[in-house]
Structure 1
Amino acid sequence: MQKYQEKFKQRLKQQVEKWQPGDTISRDQIYRFLHSVNGTAASIGLPDYSQAASEKLTELNKELKDKWSFEEVMTGYFSPFIKDMTEQAEGLRESTLVPVSTLETIEEQDAKAVVLMIDEDLDFLSGMKSGLEQRGFIVLLATSPEKGLEMFLNERPNCVIVDYVRPYERGYESAQSLLSKATSEFIPVLMISSSMDKHIELNAYKSGVADFIKKPVNSEELEVRMNNRLRYQKVIQQTIMTDDLTGVYTRRYLSTEGKKQLSQALRSKQTLTAAMFDLDFFKKVNDTYGHPAGDNVLKSFANIITQLKREYDLLFRLGGEEFLLLLPNTTPAEAKKVVERIRIKLRLTEYQEGSSSFNVTFSSGIAGSTIETKNLEELVEQADQALYMAKQTGRNQTVLFENKNMVASKRTIYVSIIDDDEVLRRILFDRVCELVTDQVNLEVTAYKNGEEFLLADWYKTREKHLVILDRIMPKMDGLEVLSILRSKYPEHEVMVLMLTGRKQEQEIVKALELGADDYLTKPFKVDEVTARIKRLIKRSLL
């Protein structure tokens, strides 16, 4: 982190040195300088800089002048930074450094509760997001029930906060569908409303919401209510073994029963085989025929496996369209015969939705335990690697795990970082490059403004892209770039993470309406933005 701090201070010094005594400095120049400091400093462990810049921005907004002399600016707006800008890097004040040990790890960020908020009131969304994020939640925003349902299905939040929608209003069916799915999965839904009508509150509770809160909402009270519901949810989920939709065992039960099965297999020197299933292009079923049709396919598929497996084989739903079958005392070759019987049965099954009919297929990966198998996680990971190979080499097939060197072709995601701040650009570039895995290759390119990005050969047809976009930039701002992206390129191929300063919450909600997939408010912790990028990369692979 110190190298970024040194580079940042050096850049500030160079920027200030461009002005000379006798120069006139405009409001826009002062604003951009302070905005850049405010947005970047805290993210690299210089909170004093960020705080000072924020205070000076407030002073600037109160001023009616449009121009200042060099002397006025240096002794006024830039005075908190002048002294440190002239110091050598080794003389950095200890008080401005944040030890690496105090920064949140990505795992800690991933462990935070994810809250989905759905409301058409843009000011309310902005205010509540800020308050809840200060209390440690990850907050996702949707400005309509339709978008909220889509985000719920993609992100699987821990809690949902939704505005009351009357039966005759747009989005009512989507709101009800979300509520039904959330309650079936024991995800608490808190409903909010500005209405004082007691009947609305009673109807909300009858529909299954966990809590009903009247506006104006106090973020501290909301946090207490959410934490209560989340604790209750955890207790419920820990006691549940079967998946509510399909009736098969849950992933949670796999962690206990699966370990027991593997222990027995190793003790008796038998083979426990894991067969992982993934329905091919299942998202297209939901998009084309609707989520109820998708649910029917999942239930039917689970039923087919249950009919064709042996009585002592164990079937688990891992989540979404992924299932795992544990076959005790069975070699991978024997398990493949069972899987192919399931494939034939599914291929002969025709699904009817209105006047349309369709068929589905699946890919499968199989791995068997050996005396070298350390734990259940290793066995499942090997089956997952084989499944990945099956999907990458054509789908609708079964692949057996062969050895630890088994590698499928990587999926490439093209990442574009657009920010006029050189230091922040460098930080984001370095962090994104660190996210490359055995399964994902990231092609990362950085641009200093929107025009440079749009003129570049950045778009690859039929490939996945992630654009990390700053809101405030010279020449062309982030909202203009976002608008062009959404009008010219397929939304399912291009995901957008927008970065903004603290004072632009309302504009960011506008960005969500224009089609941004997520946003972060500067200053942010580097690990926080890394976790958000990881989440979007994972979504792009679906």
Structure 2
Amino acid sequence: MDLSKYRNLLIKKIMEQVAEWCESDAEIMISNSEVHRFLHSIKGTSGTLELEGIHRISETLLEQLSSFHKKEWKGQELREFLSELMELTYSYGHFEEVEMKKQQSRNGDVPLIQIIDDDISILILLKDFLEKKGWMVITNSTSNKAVSQYFDLQPDCVVIDVNLPNKNGFEIIEDLQIHSNKHFVPIVMISVFNDRNTRIKAFKMGADDFIQKPIDLEEFAVRIERHLLRKQIYDQSVLLDELTNLYNRRYLKVVYDRSMEEWKRNNQQFSIAILDIDYFKKINDRYGHVTGDLVLSTFALFLAENTRSNDLVFRYGGEEFIILFQNTDYHKAYEIVSRLLADFTTKCFEANGEVFFVTFSAGITGICSKETTMDSAINAADQALYTAKNLGRSRVECFNQSLMEQKKLFISVIDDDPIIRSMLKSRLQEAEFNHYVSNIHTFENGPSFFQSGILEYPGEHFLILDGVMPIMDGIEVLQKVKQTERNNVSVIMLTGRNSEDDIAKALELGADDYMTKPFHMNDLQERIMRLIQRKK
């Protein structure tokens, strides 16, 4: 007997009932007996229809329900209680068979691989295969977006197709080598052509490897893994930042621990300052990444020449720098950094026939306790930096407890499926986003999202956007968002398994990433944080 029709009816029933209970944030109370009847019905029917996963979860929920002794449920409480049932039902709605085992959480520091190819089918294939290995993959189908994302996200390995429209793979390597001459990032070229001249040209241009299409996926993964290992060994062995010749963040830990030991022995207080170049992304966008690198190296040299001999300067990452002031309280550190700011703002830069000036914002904290860890000290200075930026940039702020307000992260889920909205909201509300206070909002369509005015709220914005919706589909929403030219908005597009055209359009329009339905919540949370942190 074909049970698929009856299974689909049951899945529809579960999704509709859970959505009705959990979609609204209003104080609607649902009786415990009503929840019990629902789960009891689901348990019996799912068992009969051989939906073992749903049967087991509903059975477990019934057992838990009997121990709670609740009379009524609020919508939010019920959403949390039924979250696992919601996720599995959603998965059954997209796949005929789903494994019950949960995917393990990935390490927050997994390597980032960038793949550049105009063949969307190849992008999908390689992305899916490599992410099953536990790595994070971003994809690009257009050269301009690819180069920009390379500089913004700083991947650990880049895979580039030779034959690309507008700008071929060799030209992209040429653009990247301006940066890669200062940073070791393995580059893998792929191509349908495997002739001697093409291979030689690829290696002469700076490629570390060359792989012919069609690609043997297992061999491809092994070769990528070897390049990532080389990158890891190189990064761990180097204490100087290649571009600026300053100490890097790995050496910062050594110096901090040494300073803390000195403080414990001699009560010699020290301070930390984080300096962040203002509007650095706009400098890159307007004048190019070569000019951006020039600004970074000039700023680094300025700091090295204008700080005291016993103070140490580090490049912390991107356009962020740290100064560790030995035997200095935060008042004195404030005076020094304020002087640095006044002097640096007078330096003149020139590019594309234009003259421009650069400023920076800074946050300072004093190390006042022998129990202060490096992470907590940097977090305190970062909070002060965040305040300086909120107050208009080009200024210096010192940390105090009143600055403990965390940065705001607005996550907007735009999807016409109520079960998806409810499920994502529930899980994202439970998630922890380091140094951010998250605000989760859901919208059933594009017009309601734009009418809310949420994009005007100050803070970082992340859109989880369904590709197919009535009234205004995901591509139209993405187009309108990108027209705002806001630099604080990242977008992940949700697509179906066979939606190459949608993926191609989304990447072309500037989506930062895409995920195919169904997906794991751990993956989504990891992806959000990686994209935000890499863009910091």
> What interval of TM-score do these two structures reach, taking the shorter chain for normalisation?
0.7 to 0.9
Match of 1:242 in 2: 240
Change (3 A) 1:374 1:295: same
2:147 corresponds to which letter in structure 1?
A: L
CA distance in 2, matches of 1:129, 1:438: 26
Change (3 A) 1:134 1:354: closer
Match of 2:414 in 1: 418
Change (3 A) 1:457 1:255: closer
User: 1:444 pairs with 440, 451, 458, which one?
Assistant: 440
CA contact (8 A) 1:13 1:85 kept: no
How far has the Cα of 1:235 moved from its partner? 1.3
Aligned pair 1:104/2:104, yes or no?
yes
- C-alpha deviations, 1:117-147, integer Å up to 9, x for none? 0011222112212222222221111012221
CA distance in 1, matches of 2:55, 2:375: 54
Match of 1:90 in 2: 59
Instruction: Return 209-218 or 342-351, whichever deviates more.
Output: 342-351
CA distance in 2, matches of 1:532, 1:143: 19
- C-alpha deviations, 1:460-512, integer Å up to 9, x for none? 388754321223445654334434544x5435454321112323245323322
Instruction: Return 82-91 or 129-138, whichever deviates more.
Output: 82-91
Match of 2:371 in 1: 373
Helix, strand or coil for the counterpart of 1:423? helix
CA contact (8 A) 2:160 2:169 kept: no
CA contact (8 A) 1:365 1:390 kept: yes
User: 1:518 pairs with 508, 513, 519, which one?
Assistant: 513
Aligned length: 470
CA contact (8 A) 1:145 1:175 kept: no
Aligned pair 1:502/2:497, yes or no?
yes
Change (3 A) 1:492 1:168: closer
CA distance in 1, matches of 2:56, 2:134: 35
Match of 1:134 in 2: 132
- C-alpha deviations, 1:139-164, integer Å up to 9, x for none? 11101222111111222222110112
Match of 1:36 in 2: none
1:525 corresponds to which letter in structure 2?
A: H
Helix, strand or coil for the counterpart of 1:234? helix
How far has the Cα of 1:275 moved from its partner? 1.7
Match of 1:156 in 2: 154
Change (3 A) 1:452 1:389: closer
CA distance in 2, matches of 1:458, 1:377: 32
CA distance in 1, matches of 2:230, 2:318: 23
CA distance in 2, matches of 1:515, 1:166: 17
CA distance in 2, matches of 1:456, 1:354: 40
Helix, strand or coil for the counterpart of 2:321? strand
Match of 2:279 in 1: 281
Change (3 A) 1:202 1:452: same
Helix, strand or coil for the counterpart of 1:213? strand
CA distance in 2, matches of 1:16, 1:338: 62
Change (3 A) 1:277 1:101: farther
1:13 corresponds to which letter in structure 2?
A: K
Match of 2:323 in 1: 325
Change (3 A) 1:80 1:186: farther
Match of 1:406 in 2: 402
Match of 1:209 in 2: 207
CA distance in 2, matches of 1:241, 1:393: 34
How far has the Cα of 1:223 moved from its partner? 0.8
Change (3 A) 1:496 1:237: closer
CA distance in 2, matches of 1:368, 1:182: 36
Helix, strand or coil for the counterpart of 1:519? strand
How far has the Cα of 1:433 moved from its partner? 3.0
TM-score, normalising length from structure 1? 0.77
CA distance in 2, matches of 1:484, 1:379: 40
Change (3 A) 1:225 1:296: same
CA contact (8 A) 2:467 2:474 kept: yes
Match of 1:355 in 2: 353
Where do 1:35-74 residues align within 5 Å? none
Match of 1:529 in 2: 524
CA distance in 2, matches of 1:366, 1:249: 19
CA distance in 1, matches of 2:531, 2:414: 17
Match of 1:39 in 2: none
Change (3 A) 1:459 1:271: closer
2:364 corresponds to which letter in structure 1?
A: I
How far has the Cα of 1:358 moved from its partner? 1.0
1:277 corresponds to which letter in structure 2?
A: L
CA distance in 1, matches of 2:60, 2:379: 48
Change (3 A) 1:459 1:369: closer
2:190 corresponds to which letter in structure 1?
A: I
Change (3 A) 1:474 1:145: closer
Helix, strand or coil for the counterpart of 1:428? helix
CA distance in 2, matches of 1:497, 1:438: 19
TM-score, normalising length from structure 2? 0.78
CA distance in 1, matches of 2:124, 2:99: 31
- C-alpha deviations, 1:207-252, integer Å up to 9, x for none? 2211111111112111100111111111111111111111110111
Match of 2:254 in 1: 256
- C-alpha deviations, 1:152-183, integer Å up to 9, x for none? 12222221101125899467544312244245
CA contact (8 A) 1:385 1:401 kept: yes
2:357 corresponds to which letter in structure 1?
A: N
Instruction: Return 345-354 or 161-170, whichever deviates more.
Output: 161-170
Instruction: Return 453-462 or 335-344, whichever deviates more.
Output: 453-462
CA distance in 2, matches of 1:99, 1:370: 52
1:510 corresponds to which letter in structure 2?
A: K
CA-based RMSD of the aligned residues comes to: 3.6
Change (3 A) 1:408 1:92: closer
How far has the Cα of 1:360 moved from its partner? 1.0
Change (3 A) 1:161 1:265: same
User: 1:427 pairs with 423, 433, 443, which one?
Assistant: 423
How far has the Cα of 1:204 moved from its partner? 1.1
Change (3 A) 1:510 1:372: same
CA distance in 2, matches of 1:174, 1:394: 36
Instruction: Return 357-366 or 425-434, whichever deviates more.
Output: 425-434
CA distance in 1, matches of 2:384, 2:345: 21
Helix, strand or coil for the counterpart of 1:363? strand
How far has the Cα of 1:88 moved from its partner? 9.5
CA distance in 2, matches of 1:474, 1:81: 34
Helix, strand or coil for the counterpart of 1:178? helix
Match of 2:176 in 1: 178
Helix, strand or coil for the counterpart of 1:199? helix
CA distance in 2, matches of 1:88, 1:239: 49
How far has the Cα of 1:331 moved from its partner? 1.8
CA distance in 1, matches of 2:272, 2:457: 36
1:348 corresponds to which letter in structure 2?
A: T
Instruction: Return 165-174 or 144-153, whichever deviates more.
Output: 165-174
